[in-house]
Structure 1
């Protein structure tokens, strides 16, 4: 098989490994791209991965080799192993997104062609009948290397903590029993972190114990799609308490809490969790954090509008998909530390991003005063946000929008063939601000402005279900991947733009990614060579990928959140905050279980996945005898 060598660049990386089959040791390697778009994922890692000519005995007939590359099958089964899915799901994914199928190496002519996509039976036959033992072990080892590489780079990968327990547990039964026992023990220690810091504003002669409200709320939050009305009856049956709150009383009492009172309870709970984590040498040293905005379920009730049909509701906000939502902003620890939500605020109509950042940083720095770097996406690209970071004396790293002047700069860089460009701006108070242009691999992606298109226009119900399954696996697809019906149109537009010699054209703009930072590690010294600047910028931007830890956190927080049809924004905000608390406790439980089992040699690999935590917490939270 003839294989073209990749073009080496400072953003390429070779990973070498060995594996053993029947006592024989074999060598393998994968060539990865380390510079991606702003939203890379594990699929993107495989699309850009390169294998050298190591087929280990590809005995297939020549006509097979001429139609489908051996490495197309390798990448497909690496994806299957990473997702822990069956051939049927993999086949549906590849047929739904021919552009991804093509990039993996299958003979797909264009973005609407599925004739070259593999069938379910062929995927099964390749793995079970045509791959040799050596080839299968090569794929398994390569998959682990790719997952390790993705996590090291901060790229969202199928994280075991978001996956179900292993199906084959016979050899690990005793270990899993120990994990379950430790989880129960630690969870019972962590439960008071909630009951000791949360409170209600009720009369002194109330007959229902306050803890019954928190137990009932946790009971509902740990069960999928449970509302207060249905949760009230189920909790009454399961609990040992004689008196439990009704659904209306539950919503009313919690809804009386103000936003600041709810935030204060979150802060105190988080403070206790941080102290417990630091007792075990976590959250020490310089920390990284991310700020982002998430949304609840779509609001489908009545909406007040003015004469121009504009929404007048302060707390119900529109989104790019055409739906309206209640939205919340959070700051969360990311990187290689235990991920905790430090603070949250509800997003109100007309609220400036700078005000959101200012409020979140003020309280987060009261909890952990050693945040070195805060990362945000292009939505937070504003002078006010940078000023807020300067006032709080934290460094920021943001994706930046490209306006006409920035697009013109991209054209000049593209025509001169420059790889890296840094611009520096001094400010009256605070560190110097830098703008970093670096190569973008956005061959198939839209710019942020184009991502505002409605994803639902070309998507069927079954596609919606599949994308939700992928999201649960930590897989995010960009606009073109998720709706390849736009591909023919966008390809035509790009072909036209390629012939335009206009300064600031889309082709030039897409050739570079733009980031802004005030971090002192980025300097503009005339004596630095281009290679030195490339490595300096690469080290800085690599941190940005850790921002996606907050997205994985939002996925799990959603599973802890009580559903409601109430329009009361304080009750909805409490539901979100309480879900953040349960998420934080789960993360602490996982840390303490790892330390109890592994001791000082504990790694970052999770030992208590979300499903296991929910199983234990549902059994032991809220079912205690009355106080």
Structure 2
């Protein structure tokens, strides 16, 4: 955007065409026209701000331009736009407004702050956005705000105040457990850093853009610089205030990860306990619960190789990064994808999905020597289950083939829980059993009962369940469980195992809506970002549970507050000082 007195360069059609093409690309990744408009990168020389002082509420010029694009693209009157922005505060955050502009403010901006040429550009862009949004079905998507029909709202109705109250309740059980350990007279309270973290999640932009947007949206007189925010995070992840500086000069080293883990996961665990004990979640549990365990990577792009041909690895490459998704068949010489890996345990099934425990994961990679550390999956599962058992009674544990191991099954069985874990078809006996099933004249599902599994002198019996190929698999699948399974129950267990896919949706939500981008290789920053993302995910889930409970309605799987909105509401709660 240009300041007063600066002229537009190039014909309106050229600038408008570029923005419309950009909007069309955004239509492929966003679910509503407001998100398309909010994520448009509008070059600074596109529109001319004719006045240096805004009218009369000191509204940000770019934010009002986005609002005008929304109004014209949807064919709304100024009254309708004002009403929508007032009703759904998320739109204010989305467009970068610090409040809903009045009809007079919108009219003033259009007539006095935009040049005639810029009004033509705005109209052309808005019409183009409407056309591409209609082609992608984004105009017919549910309007912003809680997607609940009026008859579902109960007597009081689901208002912004109720949503904010639910978010505050969930929020207050989480963020108070983390402290930076700074002096009492520090310039910024710890809550300010959580506010900035919410903006990071909301915008997925770099520090400068986030700082600019956070300063504009927040009602605080001043926000900390991005570097100050990073230093505060490192303080939260510092293992011990008494740690001598020379002992902590390499926060990426493997030797330090356990201390960093304890420093950040201890308050994480307390926050989870608060969420469960001090909200309605505990009352709504259908115990004993079913849980899913899985591992997700967070991509790390830099290469570990200083000289791959000579096998020389960078000395400062982060030790907690693991390789995964190895070289493809088309390119055997290609490198492994790399990333930080985290394991989570999540309640699934009929209960509200919530992450009860998480653990960092480290596996030996192709660039590491013989002395590299690889965490035992059984040890990770043991820690996850032990922590989750403090909160809930667990019945079934479901995991994918990554946890196919005798030691993992032994850990779960020793805790008195039932497991459902697939087995890789590898042994000759597996192949022989499958061939026998194929030759059977009528049966395509089979169960092999009471196969002994022995680990460290302990033995328990396992049932092997064989399932035929389907659209998801070209070969027979083998599901192992430590409970006795009659053949007629096999299909039911397979259907129940599909509940595990809820954890895949969880990871998708966390990465898409709650995990900000960062280039940092400091493990304190990486682990904190993921911990914070999981906690905001839980705040989202608990907020929706509270709303369901208050209004006593069955809303099915569709949350009253979508995942994409919760960081905006959270930032609004924190930034406005709503207590």
If the TM-score is normalised by the length of the shorter chain, which range does it land in?
A: 0.5 to 0.7
Alignment of 1:73-88 (within 5 A): none
How far has the Cα of 1:410 moved from its partner? 1.0
8 Å contact from structure 1 (residues 191, 621) kept in 2? no
1:592 aligns with 2:537: no
Match of 1:9 in 2: none
How far has the Cα of 1:552 moved from its partner? 0.5
Distance 1:183 1:538, change over 3 A: same
Separation of aligned partners in 2, 1:343 and 1:580? 10
Match of 1:184 in 2: 164
CA deviation digits over 1:124-155, x for unaligned, max 9? xxxxxxxxxxxxxxxxxxxxxxxxxxxxxxxx
Q: Any idea what SS the aligned residue of 1:191 has? A: helix
Separation of aligned partners in 2, 1:308 and 1:408? 42
Distance 1:591 1:438, change over 3 A: same
Equivalent residue for 1:365, pick from 365, 370, 389:
389
Match of 2:264 in 1: 262
Equivalent residue for 1:435, pick from 464, 468, 472:
464
Separation of aligned partners in 1, 2:357 and 2:145? 39
Identify unmatched segments of 5+ residues in structure 2. 1-29, 33-139, 238-259, 327-335, 364-373
Q: Any idea what SS the aligned residue of 1:262 has? A: helix
1:250 aligns with 2:211: no
CA deviation digits over 1:483-502, x for unaligned, max 9? xxxxxxxxxxxxxxxxxxxx
1:545 aligns with 2:498: yes
Match of 1:624 in 2: 577
8 Å contact from structure 1 (residues 255, 570) kept in 2? yes
Q: Any idea what SS the aligned residue of 1:232 has? A: helix
How far has the Cα of 1:561 moved from its partner? 1.0
1:425 aligns with 2:451: yes
Q: Any idea what SS the aligned residue of 2:188 has? A: coil
Alignment of 1:46-445 (within 5 A): 165=142, 172=149, 178-223=158-203, 225-256=204-235, 257=237, 258-278=260-280, 281-300=283-302, 307-308=310-311, 313-320=318-325, 322-349=336-363, 350-368=374-392, 370-405=393-428, 406-417=430-441, 418-419=443-444, 420-426=446-452, 427=454, 429=458, 431-442=460-471, 445=473
Normalising to structure 1: TM-score of the pair? Answer: 0.57
Equivalent residue for 1:517, pick from 451, 461, 481:
481
Match of 1:576 in 2: 530
Distance 1:244 1:543, change over 3 A: same
CA deviation digits over 1:68-99, x for unaligned, max 9? xxxxxxxxxxxxxxx999xxxxxxxxxxxxxx
CA deviation digits over 1:593-613, x for unaligned, max 9? 1222235x6655532222343
Q: Which moved more, 1:251-260 or 1:374-383?
A: 251-260
CA deviation digits over 1:283-302, x for unaligned, max 9? 24110111111122442366
How far has the Cα of 1:304 moved from its partner? 5.8
Separation of aligned partners in 1, 2:146 and 2:280? 33
Separation of aligned partners in 2, 1:589 and 1:168? 14
8 Å contact from structure 1 (residues 292, 330) kept in 2? yes
Separation of aligned partners in 1, 2:548 and 2:188? 37
Separation of aligned partners in 2, 1:168 and 1:294? 30
8 Å contact from structure 1 (residues 317, 327) kept in 2? yes
Distance 1:291 1:226, change over 3 A: same
Distance 1:164 1:386, change over 3 A: farther
CA deviation digits over 1:331-383, x for unaligned, max 9? 11111101101111222132222222122112111222x11111111111011
Distance 1:277 1:517, change over 3 A: farther
CA deviation digits over 1:502-526, x for unaligned, max 9? xxxxxxxx2x21011113xx24xxx
8 Å contact from structure 2 (residues 447, 463) kept in 1? no
CA deviation digits over 1:170-211, x for unaligned, max 9? 994686872544212211222212332111132344222111
How far has the Cα of 1:615 moved from its partner? 4.0
Identify unmatched segments of 5+ residues in structure 1. 1-82, 86-162, 447-509, 524-532
Separation of aligned partners in 1, 2:541 and 2:147? 26
Distance 1:615 1:173, change over 3 A: farther
CA deviation digits over 1:532-574, x for unaligned, max 9? x332212222211000000001111111112110011221111
Separation of aligned partners in 2, 1:271 and 1:438? 39
How many residue pairs match? The answer is: 389
CA deviation digits over 1:371-418, x for unaligned, max 9? 111111111101111122123332211011111321122112222344
Separation of aligned partners in 2, 1:179 and 1:538? 43
8 Å contact from structure 2 (residues 425, 477) kept in 1? no
8 Å contact from structure 1 (residues 218, 622) kept in 2? no
How far has the Cα of 1:237 moved from its partner? 3.0
Compare relative contact order (CA 8 Å, sep 6+) and give the higher one, 1 or 2.
1
8 Å contact from structure 1 (residues 299, 326) kept in 2? no
Match of 1:567 in 2: 521
8 Å contact from structure 2 (residues 342, 358) kept in 1? yes
How far has the Cα of 1:279 moved from its partner? 5.9
Distance 1:174 1:517, change over 3 A: closer
Separation of aligned partners in 1, 2:473 and 2:530? 32
Separation of aligned partners in 2, 1:332 and 1:569? 24
